[in-house]
Structure formats: C-alpha cells, structure tokens
Amino acid sequence: MSDFTVWLQQQFLLATAAPRYIQLATTIEAAIKQHVLAVGDFLPPERAIAEVLDVSRVTVSKAMKLLEEKDLVIRQQGSGTRVAMHIGYSLNPDQGFTAQVLRSGSSVSNQWLLRTHITAPADIAMALELESNSAVVKLRRLRLMDGNPVSLETTYIPLRFLPDPEHLEHSLYALWQSRGIVPDGKHFRLKAITCSEENAGLLNVHSGAPLLRIVQTSRNAQGEVLELSETLCRSDVYEFEVNS
C-alpha cells in the first residue's frame, strides 16, 4: 500500500457526515493543497481506492468528477488520473516564464538541451534583421515546473546580446536586466499544433497531444531584435492571459 493510500485511508476515516463522494473529494483536495500529492502525481486506480476505503466505484468516480470540475485533477483514458498542473501565464509583462511561475508559488528549473553559437540559417537571420551567415546564439531547453516538463523552448539571439550563452542558467530576462538590456516590445504568433513523437518524449505527453506553439519576437527600445523564440506549450498546463 502506497504512502498516499495509507494517508487517504486515515484521513477519510476522520471525515464528516457529508455524502461519501464529497468526503472523498474533499480529502483528496486537502492532499493536493497540503502537498501530500505533488503536481503531476498519478492517483491510485479508482478500483484500488474503492477497495481500500470500502466504498463503491461509483462513489470514487463521482469524487473524481468533482475534482476534475475544479481543475484539480486530469482524467485520461488509458493513463489514469493525475494532479493537474496549471500556469496562469500572461503574455504582457516584461517578466518571463521564471518570474511568473515563481510568483505562483511553484518551483522552476531548466533542462538544457543546447547552448551554443551557430551560423544563422537564412530565415533566422532575416527574422533577427541580421546579415546572412551572421553568428547567433541558439538555446534549446525544457522548462520545468515542480520538476515536470511543461514547455519546450528554442531561442535565437544576436550574439552581441548574449555572447556567453554557457553562463545562462535560469532566467534570460533576469540576466538581461542585470546587464541593462530591457525588452521594450513583443510580437506573438500563436498556433495550435499536435505534438510530434520526439517532442512527446521530452514533454511527457502522448504523441499527437495538443500543444500551443508561440513564436515570439522581442525588441529593445531602439527597435533592435533581441530574440526570436518558439515555445511549444502543453495545453493541459498553460492558461494564457492577455490584457488590452
């Protein structure tokens, strides 16, 4: 019996006189809020929960439906039920992914796949408003929230704005701020796509799962292009906000 199942059994026995499916939903919600369950964790199968708590499968299913309606869990056919991850992410502020996730109370980290100099392909050089064959920085990283991959980001930056990409560990915007580089304008293009098999393995989703592709161009106050980035966001995690 898992630690969570033992905890659930103990807490459920202390529940109130409310209907049993509400008792169960309330107990699991408490487990999520108290971090007994972490974001991304899978719950035991409904059959196992029913057996341990001596309740019907219908009771467990109704409890899971309540939690799903509150966006606390995600139920996936063939995969099970797991604690939902959510990022309330705004496209407006100058602060990037790191600052916004930290404000939400979650932890943030990177899994670096690439930090290097390349000769810019023609389309990248054009987008960055550079001459053909210019040297640029290419970054590729997984962004993780509470240890779980939530987006895959590929970024191209003119060399003069990040001559030492190997020194970048966390927030690009925080590093730029320390160097007096401030994004002053952003342009976004958004498109819904399906996840490739390669990216599915990186993002821990099924091949063909829906993603949101964001292509972002950022400029400084002088109108120079600071970055061109493509971010593939898990649609089950991100909730985007834009203020007009």
Contacts of 38 (CB under 8 A, 6+ apart): 83, 146, 147
- Could you count the other beta carbons within 10 Å of the beta carbon of residue 244? 3
Residue 104's pLDDT is 61
DSSP 36: S
Classify residue 80 as left (phi > 0), alpha (psi -120 to 50) or beta: left
Domain boundary residue, one of 83, 98, 121: 83
Cβ–Cβ under 8 Å, residues 96 and 173: yes
- Look up residue 94 and give its amino acid: D
Residues 212 and 130 in one domain: yes
Residues 171 and 214 in one domain: yes
Domain boundary residue, one of 48, 83, 118: 83
Residues 26 and 137 in one domain: no
C-alpha 180/C-alpha 220 separation (Å) is 11
Residue 54's pLDDT is 92
Residues 132 and 207 in one domain: yes
Residues 208 and 191 in one domain: yes
- Residue 226 tokens read as 């600071």
Residue 161's pLDDT is 97
Gyration radius of the chain's alpha carbons: 22
55 φ/ψ angles, rounded to the nearest 5 degrees: -125, 170
Coil vs helix vs strand at 158: strand
Residues 40 and 140 in one domain: no
**Selection from 230, 217, 222, 224 nearest residue 129 by Cα:** 224
Residues 7 and 101 in one domain: no
Domain boundary residue, one of 31, 56, 83: 83
Residues 79 and 98 in one domain: no
For the chain, 244 residues long, give each residue's pLDDT as a single digit of tens. Answer: 578 888 998 888 776 778 999 999 999 999 988 888 887 788 999 999 999 999 999 999 999 999 998 888 888 777 789 888 777 666 665 566 766 666 666 677 889 999 999 999 999 999 999 999 999 999 999 999 878 898 999 999 999 999 999 999 988 999 999 999 999 988 999 999 999 999 999 998 889 999 999 999 999 999 999 999 999 999 888 777 666 5
C-alpha 179/C-alpha 162 separation (Å) is 10
Domain hosting residue 76, numbered range:
3-83
Residues 165 and 181 in one domain: yes
C-alpha 50/C-alpha 47 separation (Å) is 5
Residue 90's pLDDT is 67
Residues 210 and 106 in one domain: yes
Residues 158 and 215 in one domain: yes
C-alpha 36/C-alpha 10 separation (Å) is 13
- CATH number of the domain encompassing residue 11: 1.10.10.10
Domain count, the chain: 2
- Look up residue 9 and give its amino acid: Q
Residue 34's pLDDT is 85
Coil vs helix vs strand at 179: coil
For the stretch 96-131, what's the b/e string if a residue is b when 16 or more beta carbons lie within 10 angstroms of its beta carbon?
Answer: bbbebbeeeebebbbeeeebeeeebeeebbebbebe
